[in-house]
Structure 1
Amino acid sequence: MSDTSMPLEWTAQQWQNVQQTIYEEARRARVAARFLPLYGPIAADAETVPAEVLGVEKPTDPCACPEDRLHVSESEPLRITTIAVNVPLSSQQVAQPDLSAALSLFRRAANIIAHVEDALIFRGASGLPSGMPPVYRVTGGIPNHGLYDRGHQTKVPMNTGDELLKAVAHGIAELESRGYIGPYALALSSELFVISETPNPGTLVLPSDRIRPLIEGSLVRTGTLPPKDGVLVSLAGKPVEIVVAADIAAKFLQVSAEPRWIFRVSERFVLRVKERDAIETLIHI
């Protein structure tokens, strides 16, 4: 490991503890990455990736049969997004044998990055968390829309567990009608998740226990969605994926004049929606 990556005062084991702490915290805090397939890592210096949008086109040969055919659009490539948080450490914090203060700061930085990642994946630029400390920076490609805004819409009431179950069943039927089979992943807002974990009146049966056999995939909660909405995604054939250019990690930058040891925790990724028909957005009315 080069000197630009690891401060000279730390041992290889201490630096490994820092990187492991960051990785584990991000893995714990992420939501979308729990169910969306990951593609990569790709070249660390890549700035774009092919969009690979699947569609149907008319063949150039008028005698071709059938009349239409599948194709991958060579549309504008997707720009990779970078999320970064700088972590300044005092000389005393750097010198701690167990790095307890430093690990707390690195852990918090990883948590913030994971939340911003989910906000971008589910809602795009409009979903960036307003309550998050403004210590992060997003550069590169910032998507205008996330999963929530790209899906087809199922608009039904979802005030009770039974209504939520019916909404999910309807969403699955819509996906199947477009040729997208299970397993499915279901992301629910905090309010809908509470409804899914509240027993039906007069029984001990949880709505989530009836939903899971339908989706055959992950059921997760996210605070990035509107209060009573959800997103249903078909996972068969990987129509939606997260392209990873560089997984989350820390890098030592410099010693400032204060002095502070400045580190940067960052990751580089992009959401690739190859088939938007594989997404069904559940909207409460």
Structure 2
Amino acid sequence: MGAPILEADHPLSAEEWERLNSTVVRVAQRSLVARRFVDLYGPLGAGVQTVPYDEYTGVSPGALDLVGEQETQPVFTDIRRFRTVPLLYKDFLLHWRDIEAARTHKLPLDVSAAAGAASFCAQKEDELVFYGDTKLGFEGIFNTPGRLISPLSDWATPGNGFANVIDATERLQRSGHLGPYAMVLAPRLFASLHRVYEKTGVLEIETLRQLIVGGIFQSSLLRGDVAAVVSTGPENLDIAVALDMSVAYLGPQRMNHPFRVLEAALPRIKHPDSICTIERAPAA
């Protein structure tokens, strides 16, 4: 799971270390939202510090010909940059007395602190994918330049949420992005879709799932009433992972044992127009 250097000289037994790591992985898998619809590129290795960040434009179709002589526009990089893969991390502490007590009484080691750190680290990854980081100059799904925008209507009115999502998919289709689509939205909007759609006897969200086959997900990290419909696939966006979520030992400190949950990852948006956000129009 992690690089050997991360595991050097830790005070835990093999069983305790495995329990710690498996807890971190389990909590991360349960907590991460963006990874459920964004492809991963990697893991590339803990020492990888930069990755190419390519952007593409144009969606001309492939050719059909009997002998392969018809010209076709190749897929190529319009913009290539190299970006540093940032570290995302959260520290936690295991007290030496807790370790000794678990061993003395033959109890499983309590790794609640590790679970909490993994949850915070997962939230940071989702925040990076959704909003990037202004200080480091990274863009996310909801603020990348060139994305499509569908004005948010009042989802308190039955049918408006469905109509908004349909409008977003139509905008994506006009840009040449035909899916499969996934959607992430704020919890309040997610709850608004759990109403019967017109006279069908079916919830709005169930009707939408026939169109948004990549999944409909909610995230409490979204800022305000917003949603995003994404044409998924590594040709449009992915997460470059150098080091997947791992645990590192930081060395003894006042007899106690600090650890770090960390990863190295960077979202790469290759086709900004494969994203359509649903958000309020800015005030005039």
How high is the TM-score relative to the length of structure 2? 0.83
1:35 shift after superposition: 0.9
The answer for the alignment partner of 2:51 in structure 1 is 49
Cα gap change, 1:236 to 1:200, in 2 (>3 Å): same
| 4+ long deviations beyond 4 Å | 1-4, 6-9, 65-70, 200-204
| Partner SS for 1:49 | strand
The answer for the alignment partner of 1:261 in structure 2 is 257
Q: Cα RMSD over matched residues?
A: 2.5
Structure (1 or 2) with the greater strand fraction: 1
Q: Which of 197, 201, 204 does residue 194 from structure 2 map onto? A: 197
Cα distance in structure 1, aligned partners of 2:219 and 2:8 = 35
Partners of 2:54 and 2:81 within 8 A in 1: no
1:274 shift after superposition: 0.8
Cα gap change, 1:221 to 1:27, in 2 (>3 Å): same
Stretches of structure 2 that go unaligned for 5 or more consecutive residues are 59-69
Cα gap change, 1:8 to 1:124, in 2 (>3 Å): closer
Deviations 1:49-104 (A, max 9, x none): 00121135xxxxxxxx9897642035321221211112122111222244543x10
The answer for the alignment partner of 2:116 in structure 1 is 108
The answer for the alignment partner of 2:247 in structure 1 is 250
How high is the TM-score relative to the length of structure 1? 0.83
| Partner SS for 1:108 | helix
Partners of 1:251 and 1:265 within 8 A in 2: yes
Q: Which of 70, 77, 81 does residue 72 from structure 1 map onto? A: 77
Deviations 1:167-203 (A, max 9, x none): 1111101101111012101001111001012334777
| Partner SS for 1:77 | strand
Cα distance in structure 1, aligned partners of 2:38 and 2:7 = 30
Cα distance in structure 1, aligned partners of 2:9 and 2:180 = 45
Cα distance in structure 1, aligned partners of 2:234 and 2:244 = 23
Stretches of structure 1 that go unaligned for 5 or more consecutive residues are 57-64, 127-140
Which one-letter code corresponds to 1:48 in the other structure?
T
Partners of 1:80 and 1:268 within 8 A in 2: yes
Identity fraction in percent: 24
What are the within-5 Å matches in structure 2 for residues 8-87 of structure 1? Answer: 9-55=11-57, 70-87=75-92
Q: Which of 174, 181, 185 does residue 182 from structure 2 map onto? A: 185
Cα gap change, 1:54 to 1:175, in 2 (>3 Å): same
Partners of 1:190 and 1:227 within 8 A in 2: no
Partners of 1:120 and 1:143 within 8 A in 2: no
Cα gap change, 1:269 to 1:89, in 2 (>3 Å): same
Q: Which of 273, 276, 279 does residue 275 from structure 2 map onto? A: 279
Cα gap change, 1:92 to 1:72, in 2 (>3 Å): same
Cα distance in structure 2, aligned partners of 1:198 and 1:26 = 31
| Partner SS for 1:125 | coil
Cα gap change, 1:50 to 1:9, in 2 (>3 Å): closer
1:122 shift after superposition: 0.6
The answer for the alignment partner of 2:161 in structure 1 is 164
Q: Which of 137, 141, 156 does residue 147 from structure 1 map onto? A: 141
Cα distance in structure 1, aligned partners of 2:190 and 2:274 = 22
1:251 shift after superposition: 1.2
Deviations 1:232-283 (A, max 9, x none): 1001453110111111111112101x22211111011000111111000011
| Partner SS for 2:80 | coil
The answer for the alignment partner of 1:211 in structure 2 is 208
| Partner SS for 2:262 | strand
| Partner SS for 2:77 | strand
Cα distance in structure 2, aligned partners of 1:147 and 1:2 = 34
260-269 or 90-99: which moved more? 90-99
Cα distance in structure 2, aligned partners of 1:35 and 1:233 = 9
